[in-house]
Chain A
């Protein structure tokens, strides 16, 4: 009797998946899907945050028009594109040959080497950005100390700056400084991606190529690179999406304001400031959708670029 009662409370296999999924789905709808719809709604509204949500007013496309005429918005887009390219392209140019070399030549040391390159990826961006802002200090920051040391060396010295560089306050140098940190942080991640792709290339292709007298360079160019193409596409897409979202590194290095002459202000920083410093949540939401369109467009473009190349080969 008691057993029968217990059975009645038992979860049926038809109902079980709904019950298992419900906590996740509830949170997903409230904190994953609803914010997106809400942000779309906000992009068409204006109001004084102090007078409460009831004071919202529909303004049509005004917020978008405002964003598109805003000088700082365009500047932030240019900065973001510059940073995404200057940090993203070298990541792949370095990671591909590095992964190939580690793949072919490192035996027992392999995990240690990969770990060293990967470690920056898991550490706190804030702690790292704080450290780098001390390394980039004008007076006796480690980077300037090393550069002035190098400038004493004949020949090479001519290429080095003759005066200490004011990395973080000069509009011309803040972007390279940010790009360096981003490069340092993500290059190891890409090495791991390429290593995984390299493992899927069958070894006998290389053996056959060696028999046919192909040089190592030819093997790299005609076997390795074409085989890596899908991963290159994937890695570049991730770098584009990631680079266009850049926030933390630039935020810390510029003290949260975007730097002198807004030279280090990415679009993500600008829309944060638009909302939380200038209290214009409507315009900030419109900007986030505009940036989203840029990200989507670029992802689609890289996709096309790589797939057309594929059909040629």
Chain B
């Protein structure tokens, strides 16, 4: 009887393994098909049976893609905005987070609560006023309309404040001050190097968010030459005669850097993206 019990338990645990494994494969399947379809023509993608392995139409698809839109330019803008956004966010949020964690000043708690409250605010609230502000500033079709507002990241401030508080002892700052180290060089020579792992996490998250951003460019970028990649890909979609092969090639190129980043740093990324939740 006991043996039978153990056998059924083993059987059910194997079934669970199988289920979890199949689920994991299903989660990855869309990525697989994106890369497979990227190497097939439109007619091949919609034939029976559908293509299951890499084909040889990648370059042909790329040619269609570059003839339909300024693809490399769009890719360049995506990269430019993502890098600028990451650099600004890292600078401003590390400075701000350091101030919140290490200094006492007026309205500190009130200001921090206000910043945290905006983190919970739904993104659609800012859609319309942001467009009008950008219009007033004359920033429509300007990449800075994408990376400057993004640098005021509430999440970035939260992450930086947490890591300063967790990794930098107050005594260390005091000792440096005693030794005559100026406030700015304390930040530059002590705080920034110690924050490196957290800066890496925030940098990755900011880069990915900017690379994937769709609503931002949708609202402020009006001419196809200024589109970022997601917006450009979307513009290729039409009710009839969509060039699916080329569209898949573009999507795969937009997705590949993310897959590589994720494979290289999945643990750091996963814990970074869920810090707010777990702590």
Chain A contacts to B: CB under 8 angstroms: 10-13, 16-21, 23-25, 27-28, 30-36, 38-39, 42, 53, 98, 101-102, 105-106, 111, 113-128, 130-135, 137, 139-142, 145, 184, 187-189, 192-193, 196-197, 234-235, 238, 241, 244-245, 247-248, 251-252, 255-256, 267-268, 271-272, 275-276, 281, 284-285, 288-289, 291-292, 295
Contact = CB atoms under 8 A, between A and B. Distances in A.
Contact of B115 (A28, A248, A291): A28
B37 interface: yes
B93 interface: yes
B132 A122 contact: no
Contact of B187 (A20, A33, A189): A20
A123 B255 contact: yes
Given A124-B258, A192-B270, A38 B132 contact: yes
Given A98-B23, A126-B234, 17 more contacts: A16-B103, A21-B95, A21-B111, A24-B92, A24-B157, A25-B111, A31-B126, A32-B152, A33-B118, A53-B136, A106-B20, A122-B262, A126-B251, A131-B37, A268-B124, A276-B131, A276-B219
B162 interface: no
B266 A20 contact: no
Contact of A241 (B98, B103, B120, B233): B120
Contact of A137 (B23, B46, B128): B46
Nearest to B103: A17
Contacts, number: 274
B interface, how many residues as a size bin? 35 or more
A133 B46 CA distance: 12
Contact of A31 (B136, B148, B208): B148
B254 A124 contact: yes
Contacts of A272: 124, 127
Contacts of B278: 193, 196-197
B171 interface: no
Contact of B128 (A106, A193, A271): A271
B198 interface: no
B151 interface: yes
Contacts of B111: 21, 25
A13 B177 contact: yes
B273 A121 contact: yes
A27 B151 contact: yes
A113 B252 CA distance: 22
Contacts of B30: 120, 128, 131-132, 135, 184
B122 A124 contact: no
Contacts of B25: 116
A282 B198 CA distance: 41
B230 A124 contact: yes
Interface in B228-279: 229-231, 233-234, 237-239, 244, 247-248, 250-252, 254-255, 258-259, 261-263, 266-267, 269-270, 273-274, 277-278
Contacts of A19: 183
Nearest to A14: B105
A283 to B, nearest CB: 10
B95 A20 contact: yes
Contacts of A238: 277
Given A33-B118, A118-B270, A126-B230, A18 B258 contact: no
Contact of A127 (B20, B24, B184, B254): B254
Given A21-B99, A53-B136, A288 B128 contact: yes
A20 B233 contact: no
A24, A117, A196, A288: residue with the most chain B Cβ atoms closer than 10 Å: A24
Interface string B11-47: 0010011001101110110110110010000000111
A184 B212 contact: no
B49 interface: yes
A289 B130 CA distance: 15
A292 B274 CA distance: 24
Contact of A119 (B122, B251, B262): B262
B214 interface: yes
Contact of B129 (A39, A120, A255): A39
Interface in B131-174: 131-133, 136, 148-149, 151-152, 154, 157
Contacts of A188: 27
Contacts of B115: 28, 32
Given A105-B17, A116-B27, A130-B233, A25 B154 contact: no
A124 B211 contact: yes
Contacts of A98: 20, 23
Nearest to A281: B128
B10 to A, nearest CB: 12
B182 interface: yes
B194 interface: no
Question: Nearest 5 CB-CB pairs, A to B?
Answer: A27-B152, A17-B103, A35-B129, A31-B149, A127-B251
Contacts of B250: 127
Contacts of B238: 255
B190 interface: no
B224 interface: no
B215 interface: yes
B151 to A, nearest CB: 6
